[in-house]
């Protein structure tokens, strides 16, 4: 596990808030915004949910006091959506109020498909109280075109990703070509109908298409990429005048996130095995 932990640091800031603040400041120094997430998911007890609420309130206060430029992104299942969506919403309201007081954006991560309806419902309730709320959508889900239209009509910000969760073929595209076609179609929608959205991809083809669309539809948007992935490209985009946010996760519950990153990028398994051999 020590070797796995060492390798996971490519994508995870560390286990403490201090680690996250340090990496966020480093991102800011490189011209990137920080998009900070405290890792944790699938809570079915109220105690860890309430601990998560306190952690995010402290995180927002620390980001403000330390002069960190960026936002936080929260997961509905770590706020109790598996207990009850109304309860999850009630636990998120203090985060929304703190975010609003600081003039920042509150982002909702999207998780596996069985929570999509509840996540959108919560996002719409939050938007009723604050207009700077963003929701992540996954291009691999077949329903996303309808969800995107719905959220754009509600004036939500959207962060478009390909999707890292394993889903069944009846609800999700499974091949790379299908997912890419869907992602490109959703990009067209965002650039023609949206604003203040995030193009969250490390795929050069998606980024090139976004840059081309931006020339035709000059609307405010940003790129979003994971910590530890395509760092030179992030700097290149910043130097070209584009906003780039770096997704910075932290916390002791890093293993599920790390596992998804390996599954999403299988060649990283080879890198990890080499680290085992080399020590």
Q: How confident is the model at residue 6 (pLDDT cuts 50, 70, 90)?
A: low
Give the start-end residues of each E strand in 110-235: 133-138, 157-161, 197-200, 221-226
When the pLDDT of each residue in the chain is averaged and rounded to a whole number, the result is: 91
Q: How confident is the model at residue 113 (pLDDT cuts 50, 70, 90)?
A: very high
Q: How many residues does the chain have?
A: 279
pLDDT at 164: 85
Cα–chain-centroid distance for residue 156?
Answer: 15
What is the CATH number for 126?
Answer: 3.20.20.220
- Cβ atoms of 21 and 242 closer than 8 Å: no
Residue 121's CB is within 10 A of a number of other CB atoms, namely: 16
Instruction: Say which residue the tokens 């395509």 belong to.
Output: 230
Q: CA 201 to CA 183: how far, in whole Å?
A: 10
Q: Is residue 260 assigned to a domain?
A: no
Cα–chain-centroid distance for residue 71?
Answer: 10
Query: Among all residues, which ones are annotated catalytic?
Result: 109, 159
pLDDT at 76: 98
Q: Is residue 232 assigned to a domain?
A: yes
Find the range with the poorest average confidence among 42-46, 192-196, 261-265: 261-265
Q: Is residue 115 assigned to a domain?
A: yes
Residues 225-248 as b/e (b if ≥16 CB within 10 A, e otherwise) read: bbbbbbeeebeebbeeebbbbbbb
Q: CA 34 to CA 132: how far, in whole Å?
A: 16
Q: Is residue 226 assigned to a domain?
A: yes
Q: Is residue 265 assigned to a domain?
A: no
What pTM does this model have?
Answer: 0.91
Tell me how many domains the chain contains: 1
Residue 140's CB is within 10 A of a number of other CB atoms, namely: 23
Q: Is residue 245 assigned to a domain?
A: yes
pLDDT at 274: 44
Q: Is residue 272 assigned to a domain?
A: no
- Fill in the DSSP letter of residue 172: B
Q: What residues are paired with 124 via a beta bridge?
A: none
Tokens representing 214 are: 């931006």
Strands 133-138 and 70-74 come out as unpaired
pLDDT at 7: 56
Q: CA 192 to CA 133: how far, in whole Å?
A: 20
pLDDT at 257: 72
Residue 277 pLDDT > 90: no
Q: CA 123 to CA 130: how far, in whole Å?
A: 10
Q: Is residue 257 assigned to a domain?
A: no
Classify 74 as helix, strand or coil.
Answer: strand
Print the domain residue range for 30: 17-252
Residue 168 pLDDT > 60: yes
- For the residues 15-26, what does the mean pLDDT come to? 97
pLDDT at 267: 52
Q: How confident is the model at residue 253 (pLDDT cuts 50, 70, 90)?
A: confident
Q: How confident is the model at residue 196 (pLDDT cuts 50, 70, 90)?
A: very high
**What phi, psi does 70 have (nearest 5°)?**
155, -165
């Amino acid at each position: 596990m020590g070797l796995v932990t060492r390798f996971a640091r490519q994508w995870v800031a560390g286990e403490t808030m201090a680690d996250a603040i340090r990496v966020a400041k480093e991102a800011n120094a490189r011209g990137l915004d920080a998009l900070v997430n405290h890792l944790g998911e699938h809570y079915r007890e109220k105690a860890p949910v309430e601990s998560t609420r306190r952690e995010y309130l402290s995180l927002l206060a620390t980001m403000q006091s330390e002069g960190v430029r960026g936002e936080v992104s929260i997961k509905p299942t770590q706020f109790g959506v598996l207990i009850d969506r109304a309860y999850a919403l009630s636990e998120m309201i203090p985060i929304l109020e703190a975010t609003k007081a600081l003039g920042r954006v509150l982002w909702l991560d999207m998780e596996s498909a069985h929570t999509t309806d509840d996540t959108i419902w919560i996002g719409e309730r939050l938007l009723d109280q604050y207009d700077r709320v963003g929701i992540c959508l996954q291009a691999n889900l077949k329903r996303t075109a309808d969800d995107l239209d719905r959220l754009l009509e509600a004036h939500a910000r959207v962060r478009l990703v390909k999707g890292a969760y394993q889903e069944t073929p009846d609800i999700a595209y499974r091949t790379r070509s299908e997912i890419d076609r869907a992602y490109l179609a959703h990009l067209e929608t965002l650039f023609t109908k949206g604003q203040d959205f995030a193009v969250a991809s490390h795929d050069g083809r998606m980024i090139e298409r976004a840059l081309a669309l931006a020339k035709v539809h000059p609307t405010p948007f940003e790129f979003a990429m994971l910590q530890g992935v395509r760092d030179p490209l992030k700097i290149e985009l910043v130097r070209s005048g584009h906003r780039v946010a770096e997704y910075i996760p932290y916390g002791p519950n890093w293993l599920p996130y790390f596992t998804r990153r390996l599954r999403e990028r299988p060649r990283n398994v080879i890198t990890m095995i080499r680290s085992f051999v080399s020590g």
